[in-house]
């Protein structure tokens, strides 16, 4: 991508979109197009068509989505499916209609079967049942990936798709009702320390294994793909390393300085037993993550703990914009 190219970052105020915007700016891209969800509702077909007719972007980074953790995914099942389908359908269709030169669609590792062999290769997609709690979100992301493939097959569009692992970093969501596990644990341990609580409750057994990638590393990987990858098959983005939720909890406990006990509520769901991505394809393209998990958690905690202390948190989800 030439530095003067007109690049639309969809979802620029979410954790992923804001990281993409930062990376583009740091790299020297200066002709960037953004809209907040108040300015442009990506679920509105007519509004998205008018936006593309006006702005005519050369490239599109599609990071806009309705996102959340186990509770949010399982509670707002219809919203997660409908909103994400509408967002991606509208942006992908108009990208074709208005001659976008290349589009990157960001999916999620939750698209893979619940009991997929580990580490998960890209070809395991649709090889088995999904995890029930996040099935609507996963189905929407699978549809987006397949829509990119279909536009490529029928019209020759250079639309590519990347499947990131679990993400964390600046701009994360710390609402205990809607957040993912890492920011939720960070907030729980921080508040337990501040309030001198004797124990912190964690959902499930603590035995599931998860992989975590700093969002700034994801942003670097995405720009790498925009420059070096032009194929139909999706690409996994991750570290290729994982740990148990128990080990993650102990790490965050150390970083936050909490000295109390940990209680595991085994009546709550664990989710998928393991989700470790095979990242050999991404590594073969010349990219490797650079931010270690402890380093990343320490950096995020240092820069956001005051925000966590003051945020009240809402029981509602929002569309990142």
**Cα–Cα dist 269/239, whole Å:** 25
pLDDT in tens, 85-95: 999 999 999 99
Residue 306: per-residue pLDDT: 56
Query: From the candidates 29, 76, 112, 137, which is the catalytic residue?
Result: 137
264: which residues sit within 8 A by CB, 6+ positions away?
201, 202, 203, 204, 205, 206, 246
The residues facing 213 across adjacent strands are: 167
Q: Determine whether 137 is an active site residue.
A: yes
Q: What CATH fold (topology level) applies to the domain 7-310?
A: Rossmann fold (3.40.50)
pLDDT in tens, 217-245: 999 999 999 999 999 999 999 999 999 99
Torsions phi, psi of 98, nearest 5?
-110, 20
Residue 308: per-residue pLDDT: 54
pLDDT in tens, the chain (321 residues): 899 999 999 999 999 999 999 999 999 999 999 999 999 999 999 999 999 999 999 999 999 999 877 778 888 899 999 999 999 999 999 999 999 999 999 999 999 999 999 999 999 999 999 989 889 999 999 999 999 999 999 999 999 999 999 999 998 888 877 778 899 999 999 999 999 999 999 989 999 999 999 999 999 999 999 999 999 999 999 999 999 999 999 999 999 999 999 999 999 888 778 899 999 999 999 999 999 999 999 999 998 765 655 554 433 333 333
Can you tell me which residue has the tokens 């990638």? 213
Q: Are strands 243-244 and 209-210 parallel, antiparallel or unpaired?
A: antiparallel
pTM over cut 0.85: yes
**Residue 235 · residue 225 · CB < 8 Å:** yes
Query: To 5 degrees, how large is the angle CA 240–CA 217–CA 160?
Result: 80
E strand or H helix at 162: strand 159-164
């Amino acid at each position: 991508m030439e530095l003067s190219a007109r690049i639309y970052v969809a979802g620029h105020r979410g954790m992923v979109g804001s990281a993409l915007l930062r990376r583009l700016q740091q790299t020297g891209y200066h002709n960037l197009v953004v809209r907040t969800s108040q300015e442009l509702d990506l679920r509105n077909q007519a509004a998205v068509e008018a936006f593309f007719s006006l702005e005519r972007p050369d490239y599109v980074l599609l990071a806009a989505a309705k996102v959340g953790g186990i509770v949010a995914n399982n509670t707002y099942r219809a919203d997660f499916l409908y909103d994400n389908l509408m967002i991606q359908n509208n942006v992908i269709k108009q990208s074709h209609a208005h001659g976008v030169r290349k589009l990157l669609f960001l999916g999620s590792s939750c698209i893979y079967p619940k009991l997929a062999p580990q580490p998960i290769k890209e070809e395991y997609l649709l090889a088995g049942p999904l995890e029930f709690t996040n099935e609507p979100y996963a189905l929407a992301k699978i549809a987006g990936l397949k829509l990119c493939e279909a536009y490529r097959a029928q019209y020759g569009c250079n639309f590519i798709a990347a499947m990131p692992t679990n993400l964390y970093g600046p701009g994360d969501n710390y609402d205990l009702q809607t957040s993912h596990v890492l920011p939720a644990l960070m907030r729980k341990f921080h508040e337990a320390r501040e309030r001198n609580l004797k124990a912190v409750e964690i959902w499930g057994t603590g035995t599931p294994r998860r992989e975590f990638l700093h969002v700034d590393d994801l942003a670097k990987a995405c720009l790498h793909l925009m420059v070096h990858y032009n194929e139909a098959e999706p690409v996994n983005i991750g570290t290729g390393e994982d740990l148990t939720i128990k080990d993650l909890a102990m790490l965050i406990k150390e970083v936050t300085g909490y000295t109390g006990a940990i209680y595991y509520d085994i009546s709550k769901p664990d989710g998928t037993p393991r989700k470790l991505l095979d990242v050999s394809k991404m590594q073969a393209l010349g990219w490797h993550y650079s931010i270690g998990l402890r380093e990343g958690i320490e950096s995020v905690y240092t820069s956001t703990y005051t925000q966590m202390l003051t945020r009240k948190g809402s029981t509602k989800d929002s569309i990142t914009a």
